[in-house]
Amino acid sequence: MKRRSFLKGALVTMPGLTALSSPVLSQKPPKSSTAADKNPGRATLARIVNEYTTFLPGEQEELAQKIDVKRITMQYSTVEAVVGSQHITLKLGDSIQGWRLLALLPWHNGMPTAVFEKHVTHQGALVFINSERELARIPKQIGDLSKIRPREIAAPAEMRFDRPHERWHGPDRLGQYVLDSNEDPCYENIAALGPGYTGWTLVSDDGVGVLKSIWLEPDGKSREFSDDPQNLWAPDVNGRLFDPVRLLPLPWLYAYKPGFSKRTMLGGFLPAADIGVWNPEYGVGYEVMMVLTAAERKPVARVRALLHPSQTGPLRAGPMFSDALVSDGAMDRYWNGTAAEFYTALVGLWERWTTFFESRMQADIPDPWLLQAAKSGIVVSRCSYRGLEPTYQIGEGSYTKVPERSHALFPVAHYEFVWAQQLWNQTERVEPHFQHYLEHYVLPNGNFTYNTQDQVEAPLNVGVFLRNSARAYDYTGDIDALRNRLPVLHRMLDYVMARRAWTKSEFPESDPRHGLIWGSPEADNGDPDDDTPTAHLYYYQNAAWIWRGLKEHGRCLQRAGKEHGDDALAQQGTKFSEDAKQLRADVERSLRITLDARNDALKKANIAPFAAFDTTRKPEELTSYENHRYMMDWWTSDWGDEDLDMGHFRHRTIAGQEILGMNSAADGIYGTDSGTLLTSNFMEHGTLAGRIRWADYRPFLLTLYGNLCFAMDSGTRYAPEDALIPGSYAGEGAGWTWSAVVNSSLQPTMALRWLLCYEESDADRVHLQKAAPKHWFGAGQRISVTKCPTRFGEISWCTEPQGAGWITKIELAAGGSTAPEIVLHIHPADRRALVSSSVGQVSGSAVVIPADALAGKKQVVVEVR
């Protein structure tokens, strides 16, 4: 089975595009002000509440309430506790100030530990505390079960995001509707447009791998089946490994009604499930929590159910679950373990993952939901790796192959796995995965092992691996790790450069193929039996990414050689830098030939070519692979010609293959006469990479929040490769469309880092808060980032309002060979212009701070008005 399958998207010509025509290779992306600035009187967008992170007035303080435990008596299972003015002794099930005593752990960190829980409207918290101190306070996104309902759709009827009633094509009407408003895109106004994606919830842990992970469906039952031999002849009785129905009293009262499920990750990002289900007909609901134990990797679950008034008499018993704890009209039961086992596993998971993030880069932003999404991408990806063995699938699914083969070896997944963690200062932790892949999944000839060579991947991936290698050294200075990588990296580089040498000898300079790199542009289109110079067009993204990889690799080796007194390494770097310059010259010559040869329609639309001889198509023609893969690779390579970047964006607009800022395609292969709107979001970091470089940051936010609100589950971050949108669910369509994958899961991880801190590739310049929305700069808001890695050293900063302006404190840790110019972006909530800065110069909505401003200083304080 191929990894993806697309039909050619429906095509349409957009009216009024002639205004976009401009001289090729000269025009920069438009630097216009935002639509809101031009139309300050425009009405605001409809909004809904973000029920994953919202507190009603006073509720956040309630869940932060201090619990003082005076004494725990294990013999009698009692706890003497003080909360506020109340001082009482509790037994299991009792409450104090709304905090319910759930369990006692007889021996945790050398002392008995009590576990309390409290719920407010949309949130909750678990507190682990002994007589000396509070050990952990784990936030929950399940609160009052009766508040669970389908996501509200609040947009005007004519602007609601619905499944198309006919084959979809045309302009990004919804995206333009958002950008024409006076608001920046966010969850509250983007999610209000239509129904979200319904995914599954992962139960796993770091390095557990896909086969030992568990998926829970929206009603809490496991997708995985029991290995009980009786399952072969009685699957209706013993089929599911876990089904909460077995633990519920009067289970028919709790029957799942589609949409009445709130699926979340405990703590907002842990690989532990927390699912709430509500039955509006009978007014009862239940909550399912599941976690893996640390040693055995055994799943243990808790079920909390609200009891119906008709429930009388004893509750059902069973061999796999504990006796029920009943109090205050609620029942608690534990499956496959005791309460102590469950909470011990949970607090251990919380401590490990919070330490994982807190020990490196940290961020505190006004949108905790977005921050949780960024963390979740790293978490679920690491959980799906089997130790160091790679994966493409998150959890088990249609792409799962163990031992590793086929899609597990997808180089695009592995490079993004490494890249995203590097951006969050986890380079040391991901380095073993990087090296393991190089040593085990690169062939002797330098090509990638992929799909056991049923397919071959694009040569451009070699450039990305080289870029990841350079970034690893930039961020850590680890010369030993760099030297370990070099033999395999240079074997990979020899492989692609031999293909370039062939085109230089075969084609004259007047031929646009001269100096390009032949090979499959995408695994689905690659065949090892036809991996020849004539098998594919000569795509520019192959050459662009090899140029980028060579440039960064050469720079890195020169830097490492200088810093470690290794002249041979520095000389190698000089050679690779020269190779990059020669490749750049050949590609620019080729581009000029192809651009000049375009037909009049392409020139008028100012569309950038995908390949040599891409000169005769109609502007409205754009294949799905060009849309969701080829132009993405171009943007991520950061070739540096802004008009060529814009040429691809113009092409997408003209072809009508964009929705809410995301790539899209109309596809009619899923059993519906009307067709289905699809976004292949596994490469959406390409769109984000292109748009983060724009002066107008709002289209970047549109793509980011469109992706988060419609192409992944808003609570569990279940992110399929190809999302049928809107309102799809895991299991709809072909297997590869709903399979959660590493790349799709990591989109918010990469995007939030770029939003907060973006390093320009070819200039010593770092942008802070480049795409932070206006409401993040309002009264009482704060943006704080520590230990953010850059090639110039770690940057920490904090921005918050002060008086009539803002104050930002910036620290740049030593480590870079060159200090950067820092561009500090401020987007006032009231859209007023910046007028002055205590450091640097105001330029539009940013302050440009020269490199020497941080020289010899531990901290620079910037006051902006």
Least confident of 296-300, 399-403, 554-558: 399-403
Quick one: pLDDT band at residue 20, thresholds 50, 70, 90?
Answer: very low
304 and 403 belong to one structural domain: no
**730-751 burial: b if 16+ Cβ within 10 Å, else e:** bebbbebbbbbbbbbbbbbbbb
Q: Are 583 and 460 in contact (CB under 8 A)?
A: no
Lookup: tokens for 77: 């299972």
Q: Look up the pTM and report it.
A: 0.94
Question: CA-to-CA distance for 598 and 282, rounded, in angstroms?
Answer: 66
Show which of 628, 663, 698 is a domain's final residue: 663
SS3 69: strand
Q: What is the CATH number of the domain that holds 792?
A: 2.60.420
Confirm if 474 and 425 have CB atoms less than 8 A apart: no
Q: Give me the phi and psi of 129, to 5 degrees please.
A: -150, 140
Query: Is 394 in the same domain as 335?
Result: no
Nearest to 817 by CA among 457, 530, 570: 570
Residue 323 shares a structural domain with residue 433: no
Residues 320 and 430 in one domain: no
Residue 50 domain flag: no
CA atoms within 13 A on the CB side of 175: 23
CA angle 658, 747, 465 (to 5 degrees): 110
In percent, how much of the chain has pLDDT > 90? Answer: 81
Q: Measured between alpha carbons, how far is 371 from 268 in angstroms, rounded to an integer?
A: 9
Tokens of 172: 């990004």
Task: Look at residue 169 in the predicted model and tell me its pLDDT.
Answer: 67
Check whether residue 266 and residue 349 sit in a common domain: yes
Q: Is residue 753 part of a domain?
A: no
| Average confidence (pLDDT) over 550-564 | 98
pLDDT at 8 exceeding the cut of 90: no
User: Across all residues in the chain, what is the average pLDDT?
Assistant: 91
Domain boundary among 140, 157, 176: 140
Asked whether 729 and 63 are in contact (CB, 8 A), the reply is no
At 396, the pLDDT band (50, 70, 90 cuts) reads confident
Q: Within this chain, do residues 285 and 385 fall inside the same structural domain, yes or no?
A: no
Domain count for the chain, please give it. Answer: 4
- The residue range of the domain holding 605 is 364-663
Same domain? 554 vs 579: yes
- Compute the distance between CA of residue 73 and CA of residue 75 in angstroms, rounded to an integer: 6
Asked, for residue 401, whether it belongs to a domain, the answer is: yes
CA distance 812 to 755: 18
Q: Are strands 821-825 and 765-768 parallel, antiparallel or unpaired?
A: parallel
Residue 846, strand partner residues: 825, 843
SS3 content of the chain, % helix, strand, coil (to 5): 35, 20, 45
Residues 6+ apart with CB under 8 A from 746: 377, 378, 381, 416, 417, 420, 685
Neighbours of 830 (CB within 10 A): 8
Tokens 């190698």 -> residue? 572
pLDDT band at 94 (very low <50, low <70, confident <90, very high): very high
Question: Cβ–Cβ contacts within 10 Å for residue 383, how many?
Answer: 24
In a domain, 431, yes or no: yes
**Domain identity same for 340 and 377:** no
pLDDT-derived band of residue 36, with 50, 70 and 90 as boundaries? very low
Q: Torsions phi, psi of 307, nearest 5?
A: -85, 140
The letter for the amino acid at 202 is: L
Instruction: Quickly state the pLDDT bin for 667 (edges 50, 70, 90).
Output: low
> Would 86 be classed as within a structural domain?
yes
Q: CA-to-CA distance for 128 and 103, rounded, in angstroms?
A: 10
Is residue 348 domain-shared with residue 369, that is, in the same domain? no
User: Is residue 688 in a domain?
Assistant: no
Output the six-digit token pair for 681.
Answer: 């979001």
pLDDT higher than threshold 70 for residue 10: no
- Return the pLDDT at 666: 60
* pLDDT grade for 314, boundaries at 50, 70 and 90: confident
CA-to-CA distance for 244 and 207, rounded, in angstroms? 27
Cβ(455)–Cβ(527) below 8 Å: yes
Rg (CA), the chain: 28
pLDDT at 27 over 80: no
Taking only the tens place, the pLDDT of each residue in 167-224 is: 556 789 999 999 999 999 999 999 999 999 999 999 999 999 998 999 999 999 999 9
